[in-house]
Amino acid sequence: MKSAIVTGSGAGIGESISKKLSENGYRVGMLDLNEDNVVNASKKIENSTPLFGDVTKEDSISRAFEKFGETPDLLVNNAGLVLFNPLEEHSIADFSKSLNINLLGSFITSRILSEGMIKRGSGSIINMSSINGINPGPGTGAYPAAKAGIISMTQQMAIEWGKFGLRINCISPGFIDAGMSKPIYADPKVRKLRGGAVPSGRLGEADDIANAVLFLDSENASYVNGHNLVVDGGVSNSVIAQLPRE
Ligand X SMILES: NC(=O)c1ccc[n+]([C@@H]2O[C@H](COP(=O)([O-])OP(=O)(O)OC[C@H]3O[C@@H](n4cnc5c(N)ncnc54)[C@H](O)[C@@H]3O)[C@@H](O)[C@H]2O)c1
| Residues near ligand X, by CB under 6 A | 7-8, 10-14, 32-34, 37, 53-56, 78-81, 101, 105, 128, 130, 173, 176, 178-181
76's enclosing H/E stretch is strand 74-77
Active site residue 143: yes
Measured from the CB atom, the residue of 97 and 164 that comes closer to ligand X is 97
The alpha carbon dihedral of 32, 19, 182, 175 has a sign of positive
From 26, 143, 185, 223, the catalytic residue: 143
Measured from the CB atom, the residue of 13 and 214 that comes closer to ligand X is 13
The least CB distance from residue 198 to ligand X, in Å, is 12
> Measured between alpha carbons, how far is 24 from 18 in angstroms, rounded to an integer?
10
> Measured between alpha carbons, how far is 54 from 104 in angstroms, rounded to an integer?
11
Measured from the CB atom, the residue of 123 and 204 that comes closer to ligand X is 204
The least CB distance from residue 160 to ligand X, in Å, is 23
Nearest CA to 125 out of 155, 169, 158 is that of 169
The least CB distance from residue 28 to ligand X, in Å, is 15
The least CB distance from residue 163 to ligand X, in Å, is 28
> Measured between alpha carbons, how far is 6 from 64 in angstroms, rounded to an integer?
12
> Measured between alpha carbons, how far is 48 from 28 in angstroms, rounded to an integer?
5
Measured from the CB atom, the residue of 161 and 175 that comes closer to ligand X is 175
Measured from the CB atom, the residue of 59 and 119 that comes closer to ligand X is 59
CA distances from 13 to 54, 66, 69, 75, 182 (A): 18, 24, 24, 15, 11
The least CB distance from residue 54 to ligand X, in Å, is 4
Residue pair 75/125 in contact by the 8 Å Cβ criterion: yes
Active site residues: 143
